[in-house]
Structure 1
Amino acid sequence: MTMAINNLKELYIAELQDLYDANQQANATVEKLIDAASCPDLKDALKNSIDGTKDGNKQIKSILDSHGEGVGDETCLGMKGLTKEAEKHVLKEEFGDDSVRDAMLISQYQRLAHYAITGYGTVEAFAKRLGDLENAQTLEQCKEQTMEGDLHFTKLAQASINKDAMAA
Structure 2
Amino acid sequence: MAIENLKQLYIAELKDLYDANEQANATVEKLIDAASCSDLQDALKRSIEGTKEGNAAIKSILDSHGEGVGNATCKGMKGLTKEAEEHVLDEEFGDDSVRDAMLISQYQRMAHYAITGYGTVEAFAKRLGDFENAATLEECKEKTMEGDLRFTKLAHASINEKAMAA
Q: TM-score range by the shorter chain?
A: over 0.9
CA distance in 2, matches of 1:131, 1:160: 45
Query: How do residues 9-24 of structure 1 correspond to structure 2 at under 5 angstroms?
Result: 9-24=7-22
Counterpart in 2 of 1:91?
89
TM-score (ref. length: structure 2): 1.00
Amino acid in the other structure paired with 2:77: M
- Paired residue for 1:133, among 131, 134, 146? 131
1:67 and 2:42 correspond: no
Cα displacement (A) at 1:95? 0.1
- Paired residue for 2:141, among 133, 140, 143? 143
Amino acid in the other structure paired with 2:94: G
Counterpart in 2 of 1:82?
80
CA distance in 2, matches of 1:137, 1:116: 16
Counterpart in 2 of 1:50?
48
CA distance in 2, matches of 1:115, 1:70: 22
Fraction of identical pairs, as percent: 85
- Paired residue for 1:7, among 1, 5, 8? 5
CA distance in 1, matches of 2:34, 2:150: 19
Cα displacement (A) at 1:163? 0.1
Cα displacement (A) at 1:31? 0.0
Residue 36 of structure 1 aligns to a residue whose secondary structure is coil
Cα displacement (A) at 1:74? 1.3
- Paired residue for 2:103, among 97, 102, 105? 105
- Paired residue for 1:114, among 94, 112, 115? 112
Cα displacement (A) at 1:8? 0.1
Cα displacement (A) at 1:113? 0.1
Structure 1, unpaired ranges of 5+:
none
CA distance in 2, matches of 1:73, 1:84: 19
> Deviations for 1:126-156, whole angstroms, at most 9, x for unmatched residues?
0000000000000000000000000000000
Residue 16 of structure 2 aligns to a residue whose secondary structure is helix
Q: Hey, which bits of structure 1, 4+ residues long, moved more than 2 A? A: none
Equivalent residue pairs, number:
166
Aligned-residue RMSD, C-alpha: 0.2
